[in-house]
Amino acid sequence: MFYSRGELEKMGFKSLGENVLISDKASIYNAKNIEIGSNVRIDDFCILSAGEGGIKLGNYIHIACYAHLIGSGAIVCEDHTQISGKVSIYSSSDDFSGNYLVGPTVPKEYTNVRHQTVHLKKYVVLGCNVVVLPGVTIEEGTAIGALSLVSKNLPAYGIYGGNPLKLIKNRENKMLDYGL
């Protein structure tokens, strides 16, 4: 089941386009910091937790089940972004060096949390279980294979996979011909 239009409007999103389908089993935190374009579908058990930087979803976006978009930094997904199941996108991360404590229960003066924008440009596809870390920009048309860790910026129209991440091959761009 998906929320009705009226239920979505009551959540208080910063903006809400047309033809938006959000599962009633998804969790939305700080809707006032979330912008959603048109023709967007968010499936069961997804978590969208927007901090100060907010979450901005363009048009024609699908976020499959169990995906997470979390953090205080901005998360921007441009048109035609496709996010497969169990993808995790983080715009905030604790410092794991051992010089600080970690976790949301620790007073901030003992932590060193990094907050940076994550930007997925048009036609980006993230395969199942991909993890995207803070500060990453994935350029237009790039696809990331399942079980990959993205910790650096990636150029346009490549297909990447693995950990460490490597270029598998160039990606075609015929999708641009469809005019959506």
Average pLDDT, the chain: 97
Q: Is the pLDDT of residue 67 over 90?
A: yes
Whole-number pLDDT of residue 49: 98
What are the pLDDT digits (tens) for 109-167?
A: 999 999 999 999 999 999 999 999 999 999 999 999 999 999 999 999 999 999 999 99
- Domains of the chain (ranges, CATH numbers): 5-178 (2.160.10.10)
Whole-number pLDDT of residue 180: 79
Q: Considering the chain, what percentage of its residues have pLDDT values greater than 70?
A: 100
Angle 85-129-83 (CA atoms, 0-180°, nearest 5)? 45
Whole-number Å distance between alpha carbons of 148 and 166: 9
Which residues lie closer than 8 Å to 15 by C-beta, 6 or more apart? 35, 36
pLDDT category at 179 given cuts 50, 70, 90 is confident
